[in-house]
Amino acid sequence: MPADVGTASVSLTDETDRPRTLRSVAELVDARLVAPQAADELEHVTRRYALAITPAMRDLIAGESPDGPIARQFLPDPRELVVGPGERIDPIGDERHLAVKGLVHRYPDRVLLKPTHACPVYCRFCFRREMVGPGGEALDSRELGVALDYIRERPTIREVILSGGDPLVLSPRRIGEIVAALDAIGHLEVIRVHTRVPLVDPPRISAAMVAALESRKAVYVVLHANHAREFTTAGRAACARLVRAGVAMLGQTVLLRGINADAAALEALLRAFVANRIKPYYLHHPDMAPGTSHFRVTIEEGQALMRSLRGRVSGLAQPTYVLDIPDGHGKVPIGPAYLDGEGRVSDPAGVCHDLMR
């Protein structure tokens, strides 16, 4: 947890005078992102859940209203302390499939490797919010070695997904070591990285980071973004550096009330991905993480949004709408069905056609 008892005047720049990540309510007040009267209440929230807002996201929040789509994702909110029915600490059951420390093996052909629990920003709706946070629980080199041995010994594993936390908060040197180790495992075909860094902290995608991600294997970066506004000039350039280096990019989005759960916002986001050479991969139905009910939409609302895209928006921009079934049963598509059991199919306009006639 961050030290949230800031001194009266907190410097907002580091020694090189570059703006730095805001990590306490006092810093949010100083940056005028929250009112001083709200500070006490918000400190209860940040004692429970980590806080971080990068300079890039701070600039976006400063330019919008307090209930704007970027502010809602990153500014703490008292509603986070209200645990709704069905909400749970480990909403998707990762613990159940923990093979060795930092490695989740739920599907035969791929594993999640979590070298760190830190993130560049802490999303207020995060499904791993009970696990993520600064300072804690990075794998040390011995533990990483154990995880790599596990992968080496199992030829059915074809793909390693670096997740966390956000793996790209690690230094290029450490990322380079992990990628090199994976590169040397003969049966691996794909290295996948799940991250928000290219948009929320573009300077981290430095030449050294791009070089660290280089491999003879296929490297996929799955970029988490939830609103078109996240695609700033610097963020788009960071994505372009990855694409130019031969990285394939996919997009993933959490469907969130007040952020992207309306047809116009969702369409703009999906089009922004595609325009930046990023194929939308998953639209996640929100998980049952504690204190996130104010973000949640119903599956019916999600399906209606998916229908609104079909036939109107390029096929390149259509993600698969998925739900992670609680308790570790895995992800399944929950998009609307266009074909019923009687051989009738509805077209994008909602008109039904009988295939049997």
Judged by CB under 6 A, does residue 161 bind ligand PLP? yes
From CA 261, how far away is CA 306, in angstroms rounded? Answer: 10
Is residue 110 part of the annotated active site? The answer reads: yes
Is residue 20 part of the annotated active site? The answer reads: no
Judged by CB under 6 A, does residue 285 bind ligand PLP? no
CB of 104 to ligand PLP, least distance (A): 4
Active-site entry in 72, 123, 220, 257? 123
Host H or E run for residue 55:
helix 55-62
Three-class SS state of 19: strand
Judged by CB under 6 A, does residue 331 bind ligand PLP? yes
From CA 50, how far away is CA 24, in angstroms rounded? Answer: 9
Judged by CB under 6 A, does residue 266 bind ligand PLP? no
What is the DSSP code string of 153-172?
T-TT--EEEE-SS-GGGS-H
Active-site entry in 4, 94, 119, 321? 119
Residue position matching structure tokens 């998009």? 335
Cβ proximity of 173 and 213 under 8 Å: no
CB of 354 to ligand SF4, least distance (A): 44
Cβ proximity of 210 and 242 under 8 Å: yes
What residues from 54 to 93 belong to the interface with ligand PLP (CB under 6 A)? 92
From CA 250, how far away is CA 220, in angstroms rounded? Answer: 7
Is residue 352 part of the annotated active site? The answer reads: no
Kindly tell me which of 111 and 266 has the beta carbon lying closer to ligand PLP. 111
Cβ proximity of 258 and 295 under 8 Å: yes
CB of 86 to ligand SF4, least distance (A): 20
Judged by CB under 6 A, does residue 284 bind ligand PLP? no
Judged by CB under 6 A, does residue 104 bind ligand PLP? yes
Which of ligand PLP, ligand SF4, none does 227 bind, CB closer than 5 to 8 A by kind? none
Site residues (vs ligand SF4, CB under 6 A): 119, 122-123, 126, 128, 132, 164-166, 196, 224
Active-site entry in 58, 72, 128, 204? 128
What residues from 110 to 139 belong to the interface with ligand PLP (CB under 6 A)? 110, 112
What is the DSSP code string of 252-273?
EEE--TTTT-SHHHHHHHHHHH
From CA 182, how far away is CA 237, in angstroms rounded? Answer: 27
Q: At what angle do helices 172-183 and 141-152 cross, to 10 degrees?
A: 20
Residues carrying an active site annotation = 106-107, 110, 119, 123, 126, 128, 287, 324, 331
Task: Enumerate binding residues for ligand PLP (CB under 6 A).
Answer: 92, 97, 104, 106-107, 110, 112, 161, 331
